[in-house]
Amino acid sequence: MAFVRFRVGFWAVCFILALSKIAAADNLSPELGVLLEEGLRSKGPVKVEQFLQLDPIQKFCSDSGVNIHSEEAGALMSEALEQIQYPDDDDYVGDWREGERIAQSGKGLRFNDSDDTINGGNCYACHQIRKEELAYGTLGPSLYQYGKLRGYSMQVLRYTWAKIFNPQAFLICSNMPRYGHKGILTMGQMRDIMGLLLDPKSPVNE
């Protein structure tokens, strides 16, 4: 079942990336633009505007000749870093049990979800997190023992929060979703993910 979900998700991502490249092309003809707008339709939380109205980072990363080490890339990352919103009360670590549920959930933002579906993080699609988990992706690094290896300092807390909020502030064109920047997860959900990674009592840090 997990393999089926992965295949469906993989082809959906490929389709979205293809649409993004078409929409961002400098030589996009008016006729093709009209065709895309008329041929696509919004369904549930998936909106046509997501593919036709790209933000600066999406436009930059849709360019086939993109140079991730360019001055433009550096400027975009610096701007993204400045836009990160941190907790006002410096409360970064939530309930790791809720964080585990969020990390396991792939619900939300799919065309067959309702608009009121609570989004999950789908973190296991790309990362190993808990030692016992057998079904996880390897696109991203293992996060097992994340806090135990890095410590629990405020510096680590702020970096991890920022990385979840907008990973493209650190690596332009990163494949990781911009959970906070795009409103995929709430601040409370992000705290719980932080708890999963950085609570010393979390099984991640055994």
- Quick check: is 145 in a domain? yes
Report the CATH number at residue 103.
Answer: 1.10.760.10
Q: Are residues 50 and 130 in the same domain?
A: no
Where in the sequence is the domain holding 58, given as residue range(s)? 2-64
The count of structural domains within the chain is: 2
What is the pLDDT tens value at each position of the chain, 206 positions in all?
444 344 444 445 445 445 545 544 445 567 766 777 777 788 888 787 777 788 999 999 988 888 999 999 999 999 999 999 999 999 999 999 999 999 999 999 887 888 889 999 999 999 999 999 999 999 999 999 999 999 999 999 999 999 999 999 999 999 999 999 999 999 999 999 999 999 999 999 99
Q: Are residues 129 and 188 in the same domain?
A: yes
- Quick check: is 120 in a domain? yes
pTM summary value? 0.81
Give the Å distances, CA to CA, from 101 to 56, 90, 97, 104, 181: 32, 23, 7, 5, 21
For the beta carbon of residue 144, count every other beta carbon within 10 angstroms: 20
Q: Are residues 100 and 198 in the same domain?
A: yes
Q: Are residues 191 and 113 in the same domain?
A: yes
